[in-house]
Amino acid sequence: MDFGFSEQQQMLRTSARDFLAKECPTTKVRELEESEKGYDSQMWNAMAELGWMGLLFPEEYGGSSGTFMDLVVLMEEMGRSIAPSPFFSTVCLSALPILQYGSSDQKEHILPKVAKGEEILSLALTEASMSLQPSNITSHATLDGENYLLEGTKFFVRDAAVANHLLVVARTSNKENPKDGITLFLVDAKSPGIEIEEITTMAKEKHSVVTFNKTKVSKTDVIGQVDQGWNIVEFIMQRAVTLKCAEVVGSCQAVLDMTTQYAKDRIQFERPIGSFQAIQHRLADMLIDVEGTQFLVYQASCSIEEGTPSDLQVSAAKAKANEVFQKATLDGVQIHGAIGFTRDHDIGLYYRRVKAAEFAMGDADYHRERIAVDLGL
Protein backbone atom coordinates (compact mmCIF):
# COMPACT_ATOMS: atom_id res chain seq x y z
CA MET A 1 0.00 0.00 0.00
CA ASP A 2 1.73 3.14 -1.26
CA PHE A 3 0.91 6.36 0.62
CA GLY A 4 3.15 8.45 -1.61
CA PHE A 5 1.37 11.21 -3.52
CA SER A 6 1.70 11.66 -7.25
CA GLU A 7 3.02 14.87 -8.73
CA GLN A 8 -0.54 15.76 -9.76
CA GLN A 9 -1.79 15.25 -6.20
CA GLN A 10 1.01 17.41 -4.81
CA MET A 11 0.02 20.14 -7.26
CA LEU A 12 -3.62 19.77 -6.21
CA ARG A 13 -2.64 20.13 -2.55
CA THR A 14 -0.52 23.21 -3.21
CA SER A 15 -3.10 24.94 -5.41
CA ALA A 16 -5.94 24.17 -2.98
CA ARG A 17 -3.94 25.46 -0.01
CA ASP A 18 -2.98 28.65 -1.84
CA PHE A 19 -6.53 29.25 -3.07
CA LEU A 20 -8.14 28.75 0.33
CA ALA A 21 -5.53 30.85 2.11
CA LYS A 22 -6.29 33.71 -0.25
CA GLU A 23 -10.05 33.34 -0.69
CA CYS A 24 -11.07 32.08 2.75
CA PRO A 25 -8.92 33.42 5.60
CA THR A 26 -10.33 33.07 9.10
CA THR A 27 -11.83 36.54 8.85
CA LYS A 28 -13.93 35.27 5.93
CA VAL A 29 -14.82 32.11 7.89
CA ARG A 30 -16.24 34.26 10.70
CA GLU A 31 -18.17 36.36 8.19
CA LEU A 32 -19.69 33.33 6.49
CA GLU A 33 -20.66 31.78 9.83
CA GLU A 34 -23.06 34.65 10.38
CA SER A 35 -24.33 34.85 6.80
CA GLU A 36 -27.75 33.58 5.75
CA LYS A 37 -26.52 31.01 3.21
CA GLY A 38 -23.38 29.97 5.09
CA TYR A 39 -21.15 30.07 2.03
CA ASP A 40 -19.86 32.53 -0.55
CA SER A 41 -21.35 32.11 -4.03
CA GLN A 42 -18.35 33.70 -5.73
CA MET A 43 -15.92 31.37 -3.96
CA TRP A 44 -18.19 28.41 -4.75
CA ASN A 45 -18.10 29.26 -8.46
CA ALA A 46 -14.32 29.67 -8.32
CA MET A 47 -14.04 26.20 -6.74
CA ALA A 48 -16.10 24.83 -9.62
CA GLU A 49 -13.81 26.52 -12.15
CA LEU A 50 -10.86 24.82 -10.47
CA GLY A 51 -12.61 21.50 -11.12
CA TRP A 52 -13.13 20.54 -7.50
CA MET A 53 -16.81 19.56 -7.70
CA GLY A 54 -16.26 17.28 -10.67
CA LEU A 55 -12.93 15.92 -9.51
CA LEU A 56 -14.09 12.28 -9.60
CA PHE A 57 -16.57 12.57 -12.46
CA PRO A 58 -15.79 11.21 -15.94
CA GLU A 59 -15.13 13.82 -18.62
CA GLU A 60 -18.56 13.18 -20.17
CA TYR A 61 -20.11 14.74 -17.04
CA GLY A 62 -17.75 17.69 -16.93
CA GLY A 63 -15.23 16.07 -14.59
CA SER A 64 -11.54 15.24 -14.67
CA SER A 65 -11.70 11.48 -13.90
CA GLY A 66 -9.71 11.85 -10.70
CA THR A 67 -9.20 9.24 -8.00
CA PHE A 68 -10.63 8.87 -4.52
CA MET A 69 -7.22 9.80 -3.07
CA ASP A 70 -7.39 13.07 -5.04
CA LEU A 71 -10.58 13.87 -3.17
CA VAL A 72 -8.95 12.91 0.14
CA VAL A 73 -6.14 15.38 -0.55
CA LEU A 74 -8.66 18.11 -1.32
CA MET A 75 -10.73 17.40 1.81
CA GLU A 76 -7.60 17.64 3.98
CA GLU A 77 -6.95 21.12 2.66
CA MET A 78 -10.56 22.14 3.15
CA GLY A 79 -10.32 20.92 6.73
CA ARG A 80 -7.13 22.89 7.26
CA SER A 81 -8.88 26.11 6.26
CA ILE A 82 -12.32 25.14 7.73
CA ALA A 83 -13.80 26.82 4.66
CA PRO A 84 -17.63 26.92 4.97
CA SER A 85 -19.27 25.55 1.83
CA PRO A 86 -21.82 22.91 0.77
CA PHE A 87 -19.01 20.84 -0.80
CA PHE A 88 -19.25 17.90 1.61
CA SER A 89 -23.04 17.71 1.30
CA THR A 90 -23.03 18.05 -2.46
CA VAL A 91 -20.06 15.97 -3.54
CA CYS A 92 -19.20 13.54 -0.74
CA LEU A 93 -22.68 12.69 0.52
CA SER A 94 -24.79 12.98 -2.61
CA ALA A 95 -22.97 13.18 -5.96
CA LEU A 96 -20.78 10.11 -5.39
CA PRO A 97 -23.74 7.73 -4.90
CA ILE A 98 -25.51 9.27 -7.91
CA LEU A 99 -22.36 8.67 -9.96
CA GLN A 100 -22.22 5.05 -8.78
CA TYR A 101 -25.91 4.07 -8.68
CA GLY A 102 -27.84 6.69 -10.64
CA SER A 103 -29.47 6.01 -14.00
CA SER A 104 -27.99 7.48 -17.18
CA ASP A 105 -30.68 10.17 -17.23
CA GLN A 106 -30.09 11.06 -13.58
CA LYS A 107 -26.34 11.36 -14.08
CA GLU A 108 -26.70 13.39 -17.25
CA HIS A 109 -29.19 15.71 -15.57
CA ILE A 110 -27.39 16.25 -12.23
CA LEU A 111 -23.64 15.67 -12.48
CA PRO A 112 -22.71 18.27 -15.13
CA LYS A 113 -24.56 20.89 -13.07
CA VAL A 114 -22.69 19.81 -9.94
CA ALA A 115 -19.38 20.05 -11.79
CA LYS A 116 -20.23 23.61 -12.89
CA GLY A 117 -21.28 24.66 -9.39
CA GLU A 118 -24.89 25.10 -10.53
CA GLU A 119 -26.36 22.32 -8.38
CA ILE A 120 -26.23 21.91 -4.59
CA LEU A 121 -27.27 18.56 -3.12
CA SER A 122 -27.94 17.32 0.39
CA LEU A 123 -28.44 13.90 2.00
CA ALA A 124 -31.53 13.43 4.20
CA LEU A 125 -30.71 10.33 6.24
CA THR A 126 -30.92 10.67 10.04
CA GLU A 127 -34.20 10.83 11.94
CA ALA A 128 -35.27 11.66 15.50
CA SER A 129 -33.24 8.82 17.05
CA MET A 130 -30.09 10.09 15.28
CA SER A 131 -29.21 6.42 14.81
CA LEU A 132 -27.49 5.21 11.66
CA GLN A 133 -29.07 1.76 11.95
CA PRO A 134 -31.52 0.71 9.20
CA SER A 135 -34.16 -0.22 11.77
CA ASN A 136 -34.49 3.47 12.67
CA ILE A 137 -35.50 4.57 9.16
CA THR A 138 -39.21 5.30 9.64
CA SER A 139 -39.80 7.90 6.92
CA HIS A 140 -41.79 6.07 4.28
CA ALA A 141 -42.75 6.32 0.64
CA THR A 142 -46.04 4.86 -0.62
CA LEU A 143 -46.54 4.03 -4.28
CA ASP A 144 -49.42 5.97 -5.83
CA GLY A 145 -49.67 5.28 -9.56
CA GLU A 146 -46.52 6.54 -11.25
CA ASN A 147 -45.36 8.42 -8.16
CA TYR A 148 -44.39 7.83 -4.56
CA LEU A 149 -45.80 9.89 -1.70
CA LEU A 150 -43.02 10.64 0.75
CA GLU A 151 -43.78 11.21 4.44
CA GLY A 152 -41.57 11.67 7.49
CA THR A 153 -39.06 13.98 9.13
CA LYS A 154 -35.29 14.11 8.75
CA PHE A 155 -32.99 15.82 11.24
CA PHE A 156 -29.65 17.61 10.82
CA VAL A 157 -29.85 17.73 7.04
CA ARG A 158 -26.81 19.83 6.20
CA ASP A 159 -27.24 22.64 3.64
CA ALA A 160 -30.87 21.68 2.97
CA ALA A 161 -31.93 25.33 2.91
CA VAL A 162 -29.72 26.05 -0.12
CA ALA A 163 -30.01 22.67 -1.85
CA ASN A 164 -31.59 22.19 -5.26
CA HIS A 165 -32.18 18.48 -4.69
CA LEU A 166 -32.31 16.21 -1.64
CA LEU A 167 -31.16 12.61 -1.63
CA VAL A 168 -33.75 11.06 0.69
CA VAL A 169 -33.53 7.69 2.42
CA ALA A 170 -37.00 6.23 3.07
CA ARG A 171 -38.70 2.91 3.71
CA THR A 172 -40.80 1.56 0.87
CA SER A 173 -41.73 -1.77 2.47
CA ASN A 174 -41.45 -3.56 5.81
CA LYS A 175 -39.28 -6.65 5.68
CA GLU A 176 -38.04 -9.03 8.36
CA ASN A 177 -34.51 -7.76 7.81
CA PRO A 178 -34.54 -3.96 8.45
CA LYS A 179 -31.85 -3.50 5.77
CA ASP A 180 -34.41 -4.59 3.18
CA GLY A 181 -37.22 -2.32 2.07
CA ILE A 182 -35.20 0.92 2.00
CA THR A 183 -35.08 3.11 -1.11
CA LEU A 184 -33.25 6.32 -2.05
CA PHE A 185 -35.04 9.12 -3.88
CA LEU A 186 -33.74 12.20 -5.66
CA VAL A 187 -36.22 14.89 -4.61
CA ASP A 188 -36.56 18.45 -5.88
CA ALA A 189 -36.03 20.54 -2.74
CA LYS A 190 -38.74 22.99 -3.85
CA SER A 191 -41.43 20.33 -4.25
CA PRO A 192 -44.81 20.94 -2.59
CA GLY A 193 -45.11 19.30 0.81
CA ILE A 194 -41.52 19.97 1.95
CA GLU A 195 -40.92 22.09 5.03
CA ILE A 196 -37.38 23.16 5.93
CA GLU A 197 -36.60 24.57 9.37
CA GLU A 198 -33.03 25.68 9.99
CA ILE A 199 -31.16 24.67 13.15
CA THR A 200 -28.49 26.80 14.80
CA THR A 201 -25.48 24.76 15.88
CA MET A 202 -22.42 25.52 17.98
CA ALA A 203 -20.19 25.09 14.94
CA LYS A 204 -22.36 27.52 12.93
CA GLU A 205 -22.92 24.90 10.23
CA LYS A 206 -26.19 25.18 8.31
CA HIS A 207 -28.37 22.23 9.32
CA SER A 208 -32.12 21.82 9.00
CA VAL A 209 -35.08 19.72 10.03
CA VAL A 210 -36.80 18.63 6.82
CA THR A 211 -40.40 17.39 6.92
CA PHE A 212 -42.08 15.61 4.02
CA ASN A 213 -45.89 15.74 3.93
CA LYS A 214 -47.07 13.49 1.10
CA THR A 215 -44.39 14.93 -1.16
CA LYS A 216 -44.83 13.56 -4.66
CA VAL A 217 -41.75 11.86 -6.15
CA SER A 218 -41.69 10.22 -9.58
CA LYS A 219 -40.77 6.55 -9.93
CA THR A 220 -38.01 7.73 -12.28
CA ASP A 221 -36.38 9.55 -9.34
CA VAL A 222 -35.48 6.35 -7.51
CA ILE A 223 -31.71 5.94 -7.13
CA GLY A 224 -30.73 2.33 -7.72
CA GLN A 225 -33.33 -0.37 -7.06
CA VAL A 226 -36.53 -0.12 -5.03
CA ASP A 227 -36.19 -1.81 -1.60
CA GLN A 228 -32.44 -2.28 -2.10
CA GLY A 229 -31.17 1.10 -1.02
CA TRP A 230 -29.30 0.18 2.15
CA ASN A 231 -26.28 -0.98 0.17
CA ILE A 232 -26.17 2.57 -1.26
CA VAL A 233 -26.29 3.99 2.28
CA GLU A 234 -23.35 1.77 3.19
CA PHE A 235 -21.52 2.97 0.08
CA ILE A 236 -22.14 6.56 1.20
CA MET A 237 -21.04 5.82 4.76
CA GLN A 238 -17.75 4.23 3.73
CA ARG A 239 -16.73 7.14 1.54
CA ALA A 240 -18.25 10.04 3.48
CA VAL A 241 -16.83 8.85 6.81
CA THR A 242 -13.37 8.54 5.29
CA LEU A 243 -13.60 11.97 3.67
CA LYS A 244 -14.86 13.52 6.91
CA CYS A 245 -11.82 11.99 8.63
CA ALA A 246 -9.55 13.55 6.00
CA GLU A 247 -11.17 16.91 6.71
CA VAL A 248 -10.55 16.40 10.45
CA VAL A 249 -6.91 15.52 9.82
CA GLY A 250 -6.49 18.80 7.96
CA SER A 251 -8.05 20.69 10.87
CA CYS A 252 -5.81 18.88 13.37
CA GLN A 253 -2.73 19.75 11.32
CA ALA A 254 -3.75 23.42 11.32
CA VAL A 255 -4.18 23.31 15.11
CA LEU A 256 -0.76 21.69 15.49
CA ASP A 257 0.89 24.26 13.23
CA MET A 258 -0.66 27.33 14.88
CA THR A 259 -0.02 26.01 18.40
CA THR A 260 3.61 25.14 17.62
CA GLN A 261 4.17 28.61 16.20
CA TYR A 262 2.54 30.21 19.25
CA ALA A 263 4.80 28.16 21.55
CA LYS A 264 7.82 29.53 19.67
CA ASP A 265 6.61 33.14 19.75
CA ARG A 266 5.10 33.43 23.24
CA ILE A 267 7.68 34.63 25.73
CA GLN A 268 7.18 33.90 29.41
CA PHE A 269 9.82 34.03 32.14
CA GLU A 270 12.16 35.51 29.54
CA ARG A 271 12.01 32.45 27.28
CA PRO A 272 9.64 30.95 24.69
CA ILE A 273 7.05 28.72 26.33
CA GLY A 274 7.98 26.03 23.81
CA SER A 275 11.27 25.62 25.69
CA PHE A 276 9.41 24.13 28.67
CA GLN A 277 9.18 20.35 28.75
CA ALA A 278 5.46 20.30 29.58
CA ILE A 279 4.66 22.21 26.38
CA GLN A 280 7.15 20.22 24.32
CA HIS A 281 5.62 16.90 25.35
CA ARG A 282 2.07 18.06 24.64
CA LEU A 283 3.03 19.17 21.15
CA ALA A 284 5.00 15.97 20.58
CA ASP A 285 1.95 13.92 21.58
CA MET A 286 -0.21 16.06 19.30
CA LEU A 287 2.05 15.35 16.33
CA ILE A 288 2.07 11.62 17.11
CA ASP A 289 -1.73 11.57 17.30
CA VAL A 290 -2.20 13.55 14.09
CA GLU A 291 0.29 11.40 12.16
CA GLY A 292 -1.33 8.22 13.48
CA THR A 293 -4.80 9.38 12.48
CA GLN A 294 -3.55 10.40 9.05
CA PHE A 295 -2.13 6.90 8.56
CA LEU A 296 -5.50 5.31 9.42
CA VAL A 297 -7.29 7.67 7.03
CA TYR A 298 -4.89 6.94 4.18
CA GLN A 299 -5.16 3.22 4.85
CA ALA A 300 -8.97 3.37 4.65
CA SER A 301 -8.77 5.61 1.57
CA CYS A 302 -6.43 3.26 -0.26
CA SER A 303 -8.71 0.30 0.39
CA ILE A 304 -11.61 2.24 -1.13
CA GLU A 305 -9.55 3.32 -4.12
CA GLU A 306 -8.41 -0.27 -4.69
CA GLY A 307 -12.02 -1.48 -4.69
CA THR A 308 -11.77 -3.40 -1.41
CA PRO A 309 -13.28 -1.03 1.17
CA SER A 310 -12.90 -2.16 4.77
CA ASP A 311 -15.55 -1.19 7.31
CA LEU A 312 -13.03 -1.96 10.06
CA GLN A 313 -10.45 0.45 8.65
CA VAL A 314 -13.04 3.16 8.03
CA SER A 315 -14.45 2.89 11.55
CA ALA A 316 -10.97 2.76 13.10
CA ALA A 317 -10.11 6.01 11.32
CA LYS A 318 -13.33 7.72 12.47
CA ALA A 319 -13.06 6.60 16.10
CA LYS A 320 -9.47 7.82 16.24
CA ALA A 321 -10.16 11.06 14.38
CA ASN A 322 -12.99 11.98 16.77
CA GLU A 323 -10.76 11.63 19.83
CA VAL A 324 -7.64 13.21 18.34
CA PHE A 325 -9.52 16.29 17.12
CA GLN A 326 -10.96 16.83 20.59
CA LYS A 327 -7.64 16.32 22.38
CA ALA A 328 -5.62 18.39 19.90
CA THR A 329 -7.94 21.39 20.04
CA LEU A 330 -8.26 21.23 23.83
CA ASP A 331 -4.48 21.09 24.25
CA GLY A 332 -4.16 23.86 21.67
CA VAL A 333 -6.54 26.11 23.61
CA GLN A 334 -4.73 25.42 26.89
CA ILE A 335 -1.27 26.09 25.42
CA HIS A 336 -2.53 29.39 24.02
CA GLY A 337 -3.63 30.29 27.54
CA ALA A 338 -6.25 32.95 28.22
CA ILE A 339 -6.36 34.17 24.61
CA GLY A 340 -7.26 30.66 23.49
CA PHE A 341 -10.57 30.94 25.34
CA THR A 342 -11.63 34.08 23.47
CA ARG A 343 -13.77 34.09 20.34
CA ASP A 344 -11.24 36.35 18.65
CA HIS A 345 -8.45 33.77 18.33
CA ASP A 346 -8.43 31.27 15.47
CA ILE A 347 -7.95 28.26 17.75
CA GLY A 348 -11.53 28.73 18.94
CA LEU A 349 -12.87 28.32 15.40
CA TYR A 350 -11.47 24.80 15.33
CA TYR A 351 -12.48 23.97 18.90
CA ARG A 352 -16.13 24.79 18.14
CA ARG A 353 -16.12 22.31 15.27
CA VAL A 354 -15.05 19.31 17.36
CA LYS A 355 -18.53 18.14 18.36
CA ALA A 356 -19.93 18.72 14.89
CA ALA A 357 -17.21 16.52 13.42
CA GLU A 358 -17.61 13.93 16.17
CA PHE A 359 -21.30 13.29 15.52
CA ALA A 360 -21.11 13.59 11.73
CA MET A 361 -21.49 10.08 10.31
CA GLY A 362 -21.28 8.41 13.72
CA ASP A 363 -19.45 9.09 16.98
CA ALA A 364 -16.55 7.08 18.42
CA ASP A 365 -18.82 4.64 20.30
CA TYR A 366 -20.84 3.87 17.17
CA HIS A 367 -17.69 3.08 15.21
CA ARG A 368 -16.20 1.02 18.02
CA GLU A 369 -19.34 -1.13 17.91
CA ARG A 370 -18.86 -1.58 14.16
CA ILE A 371 -15.26 -2.61 14.76
CA ALA A 372 -16.41 -5.12 17.39
CA VAL A 373 -18.87 -6.64 14.89
CA ASP A 374 -16.09 -6.88 12.30
CA LEU A 375 -13.96 -8.69 14.90
CA GLY A 376 -16.75 -11.22 15.39
CA LEU A 377 -17.60 -10.11 18.91
Whether the pLDDT of residue 362 is over 90: the answer is: no
The radius of gyration of the chain from alpha carbons, rounded to an integer in Å, stands at 21
Whether the pLDDT of residue 201 is over 90: the answer is: no
Whether the pLDDT of residue 133 is over 80: the answer is: yes
User: Which of 150-159, 197-206, 230-239, 297-306 is predicted least confidently?
Assistant: 197-206
How does residue 338 score in pLDDT terms, banded at 50, 70 and 90? Answer: confident
Give the residue-averaged pLDDT of 340-348: 85
Q: Is residue 347 a contact partner of residue 338, using CB atoms and an 8 Å limit? A: no
Whether the pLDDT of residue 117 is over 80: the answer is: yes
**How far is it, in rounded angstroms, from Cα 45 to Cα 31?**
18
Please report the pLDDT score of residue 167 as a whole number.
Answer: 98
**Beta bridge mates, 331:** none
Give the residue-averaged pLDDT of 67-92: 96
How does residue 29 score in pLDDT terms, banded at 50, 70 and 90? Answer: very high
How much is the mean pLDDT over the chain?
Answer: 94
Task: List, for residues 225-277, the tens digit of each pLDDT value.
Answer: 999 999 999 999 999 999 999 999 999 999 999 999 999 999 999 999 999 99
How does residue 1 score in pLDDT terms, banded at 50, 70 and 90? Answer: low
How does residue 79 score in pLDDT terms, banded at 50, 70 and 90? Answer: very high
41 CB-near residues (< 8 Å, 6+ apart): none
**How far is it, in rounded angstroms, from Cα 195 to Cα 213?**
8
How does residue 300 score in pLDDT terms, banded at 50, 70 and 90? Answer: very high
**How far is it, in rounded angstroms, from Cα 256 to Cα 328?**
7
Strands 267-268 and 182-188: unpaired
**How far is it, in rounded angstroms, from Cα 70 to Cα 66?**
6
**Ramachandran angles phi, psi of 164, nearest 5°:** -85, -35
Q: Is 16 exposed, middle or buried (0-12, 13-18, 19+ CB in 10 A)?
A: buried
In the chain, the amino acid numbered 193 is G
Please report the pLDDT score of residue 361 as a whole number.
Answer: 87
**How far is it, in rounded angstroms, from Cα 129 to Cα 134?**
11
| Alpha helix ranges (H) inside 82-229 | 87, 96-101, 104-115
Q: Is residue 347 a contact partner of residue 340, using CB atoms and an 8 Å limit? A: yes
Whether the pLDDT of residue 3 is over 70: the answer is: no
| pLDDT > 70 in the chain, percent | 99
Whether the pLDDT of residue 145 is over 70: the answer is: yes
Task: List, for residues 47-76, the tens digit of each pLDDT value.
Answer: 999 999 999 999 999 999 999 999 999 999
**How far is it, in rounded angstroms, from Cα 243 to Cα 329?**
20
Please report the pLDDT score of residue 377 as a whole number.
Answer: 85
Whether the pLDDT of residue 130 is over 90: the answer is: no
Give the residue-averaged pLDDT of 90-111: 97
Please report the pLDDT score of residue 253 as a whole number.
Answer: 97
User: Which of 117-126, 183-192, 338-347 is predicted least confidently?
Assistant: 338-347
**Among the listed residues 73, 78, 79, 156, the one whose alpha carbon sits nearest the alpha carbon of residue 325:** 79
**How far is it, in rounded angstroms, from Cα 79 to Cα 321?**
12
